[in-house]
């Protein structure tokens, strides 16, 4: 059974990476990922399903490296104010979006 769970995680990662290639906008991917992460997290799934979806799919879909690369490009321009604003803006928007997904999930069930 343990091998089967790892195969499901790998398949979830593959699907997420495939979708990530077609959505070339880091901010949009981050918002979509946060919304669905909150939605799925509120469902209180079993431990194995939660690992497959949250750790497998969403970790590959939202890719932290895209967020870091975006901030690196701003920082490379030497614009510290813009860097600080975008850094805080992205984190705050994603937290609110995740909470909104959580809230929607609770209202549906």
Each of the 109 residues of the chain gets a pLDDT tens digit; together they read 578 888 888 888 888 888 888 887 878 888 888 888 888 888 878 878 887 888 788 888 887 777 788 888 888 998 899 989 988 988 899 889 989 999 998 888 6
- Contacts of 50-59 with CB under 8 Å at 24 or more apart are 51/5, 51/9, 52/5, 52/8, 52/9, 52/12, 53/12, 55/9, 56/8, 56/9, 56/10, 56/11, 56/12, 56/13, 56/16, 57/12, 57/13, 57/15, 57/16, 58/16, 58/33, 59/13, 59/16
Can you tell me the distance from the alpha carbon of 23 to that of 84, in angstroms, rounded to the nearest whole number? 25
């Amino acid at each position: 059974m343990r091998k089967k769970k790892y195969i499901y995680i790998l398949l979830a990662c593959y699907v997420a990476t495939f979708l990530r290639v077609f959505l070339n906008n880091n901010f949009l991917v981050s918002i979509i990922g946060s919304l669905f992460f909150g939605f799925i997290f509120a469902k209180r799934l079993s431990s194995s399903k939660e690992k497959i979806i949250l750790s497998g799919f969403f970790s590959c879909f939202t890719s932290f490296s895209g967020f870091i690369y975006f901030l690196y490009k701003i920082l490379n321009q030497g614009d510290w104010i813009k860097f600080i604003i975008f850094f805080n803006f992205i984190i705050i928007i994603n937290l609110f979006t995740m909470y909104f997904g959580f809230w929607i999930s609770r209202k549906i069930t």
